[in-house]
Amino acid sequence: MNVDIKALEEFNLLAREGAEEATEALSTMTNVDAAIDVAKITVVDRRDIVRDLEDGTYEGVKFRIDGELSGTVLVTFSQESSTALTDSLVPSSADESLARSSLEELANVMVGGFMAGWGDYLETGLGMSPPTYLQSPTPETLDLDTASPETESLLVFRSDISWNDRVAGIDIYLAPDQGSLESVLGSVDDAGDGTLLALDKLSVFSDLTKEGTERAAEHASTMSGVETYADVSGISFTPIDDITSHLDGSYVGTTVEFGGTPSGTLVILFDEASATNIAEALLPMEPDGDGLTDMHRSAIEELGNVMTSGFIDGWANVLQSSVEHTPPEYVDDMEMELLQIVTDQLGPFQTHGFVIESTMRTEAVDFECEILAVPNEEELSTALDSLLVERKAETSADSDDLF
């Protein structure tokens, strides 16, 4: 299935409008100050969607949507937001059953607002099931339809909502069934001017990005002696203004230019505390000075180099192309640098862009970093055209066998 970039832009704007309706419903029912953080389309492993629900850090409510657009809608609440919101809806003495019912009703009203615009756009009624509180969710019980049998990834419309200035809050996922998604995206007429991407191949590439993040984590573990874990990874199609909007505070990091098919820029972001902590874990001696010294910067550049190699080297094997990269360059103000990178890479007139997103963390050291790759859109399309989905299982073999 090929998806058109213009269609993705149009439907992501529609999803954002729906998220605004859901946010307004949330504020009205609970009297909390809620706002949209990010509304984006993401290609992500379905197991990552339920991970936070499985470990108990989030609660979830599920809906099935039927009609011209069919699929699953999932609303997740962090434990902090769930407790605060149910306290505003029911007496504090209410039992667990009543608290869950109030959360279901809140999600029901939010999803009603979220989906209303879709029905208007498609000029048809959409059916919505009653809310189901998720007891022990799995990818299978959530009815998440992957892009193809060869991948665990799927395309979802994701909206992140914060409340009372808290980042961890409420997420809305709309995961269309694949047949429905193909029909709806195919209804957009762009006069043949849009760039086409193969969704099944983009999903396989998302899986490979996850594997690349795991390799980057392994390289970081080997270099630092600190066990490092890959947390989240996927490919997002995001409004340009939202790419840097989550950077709250001072960030440092490294930038790398990579060439080949696709070419682009890779950025590794650290908040200052994480940068200090991981650099000092690498240094053989105490740094000579306060704050981020030259020794810290050198260690971060070295770490950025091994992480970059782990992240993108697999692309060359899979895409049978040479993916070279420049030495990492340390940057003090990553927010401004990332904004400049996005502008240079995507151009002044593009409203959305593909960003390859990953997060890594450790438990032994207070450290977390993000890896963002901004590929050239047309070259990404060309690279995906060369990828044979059915040979994904053989990516560890000779690259000559992949094409």
Query: pLDDT digit string (tens) for 133-175?
Result: 987 777 777 888 887 777 888 899 999 998 766 655 899 999 9
Query: pLDDT digit string (tens) for 18-48?
Result: 999 999 999 999 888 888 888 999 988 888 8
User: Is 397 part of a structural domain of the chain?
Assistant: yes
Total of domains in the chain: 2
Q: Are residues 390 and 352 in the same domain?
A: yes
pLDDT of residue 349: 64
User: Is 353 part of a structural domain of the chain?
Assistant: yes
User: Is 166 part of a structural domain of the chain?
Assistant: yes
pLDDT surpasses 50 at 333: yes
What is the total residue count of the chain? 403
User: Is 190 part of a structural domain of the chain?
Assistant: no
Spatial distance between the Cα atoms of 224 and 66, rounded to a whole number of angstroms: 50
Q: Are residues 335 and 300 in the same domain?
A: yes
User: Is 235 part of a structural domain of the chain?
Assistant: yes
Query: pLDDT digit string (tens) for 335-382?
Result: 788 878 877 776 666 778 888 888 888 888 888 888 888 888 888 888
pLDDT surpasses 60 at 396: no
Q: Are residues 209 and 351 in the same domain?
A: yes
Q: Are residues 233 and 159 in the same domain?
A: no
pLDDT of residue 314: 65
* Band of residue 391 on the pLDDT scale cut at 50, 70, 90: very low
Q: Are residues 341 and 366 in the same domain?
A: yes
Q: Are residues 150 and 253 in the same domain?
A: no
Out of 66-70, 105-109, 202-206, least confident range? 202-206
Domain boundary (155, 185, 215) is at 185
pLDDT of residue 376: 82
How many Cβ atoms from other residues are within 10 Å of residue 225's Cβ? Answer: 11
Domain boundary (158, 185, 212) is at 185
Q: Are residues 10 and 74 in the same domain?
A: yes
Q: Are residues 137 and 74 in the same domain?
A: yes
Enclosing H/E stretch for 271: strand 264-271
Q: Which residues pair with 358 in a beta bridge?
A: 233, 371
Q: In the chain, pLDDT over 70 holds for what percent of residues?
A: 88
Tell which wins on pLDDT, 202 or 22.
Answer: 22
What one-character-per-residue DSSP string does 96-121 give?
HHHHHHHHHHHHHHHHHHHHHHHHHH
Q: Are residues 127 and 212 in the same domain?
A: no
pLDDT of residue 166: 62
User: Is 191 part of a structural domain of the chain?
Assistant: no
Domain boundary (185, 204, 234) is at 185
Extended strands (E) in 46-148? 58-66, 71-78, 127-128, 132-133
Q: Are residues 230 and 173 in the same domain?
A: no
Three-state DSSP class for residue 200: helix
Q: Name the token pair of 402.
A: 């992949």
User: Is 369 part of a structural domain of the chain?
Assistant: yes
Query: pLDDT digit string (tens) for 297-308?
Result: 999 999 988 888
Q: Are residues 128 and 262 in the same domain?
A: no
CB 61, CB 83: distance < 8 Å: no
User: What value does the mean pLDDT take over residues 77-101?
Assistant: 86
User: What value does the mean pLDDT take over residues 56-64?
Assistant: 90
Query: pLDDT digit string (tens) for 233-261?
Result: 788 888 887 877 767 668 899 999 988 77
Q: Are residues 25 and 97 in the same domain?
A: yes
Q: Which residues pair with 76 in a beta bridge?
A: 60, 171
pLDDT surpasses 50 at 397: no
* Residue written as token pair 């100050």: 33
Which are the contacts of 91, defined by CB distance < 8 A and separation ≥ 6?
none
User: Could you tell me which of 8, 30, 125 has the C-alpha nearest to residue 81?
Assistant: 30
User: What value does the mean pLDDT take over residues 186-205?
Assistant: 72
Three-state DSSP class for residue 337: helix
The CATH number of whichever domain residue 122 belongs to comes to: 3.40.1550.10
Residue type, 147: A
Range of the domain at 28: 2-185
Distance of alpha carbon 167 from the chain centroid? 15
User: Is 233 part of a structural domain of the chain?
Assistant: yes
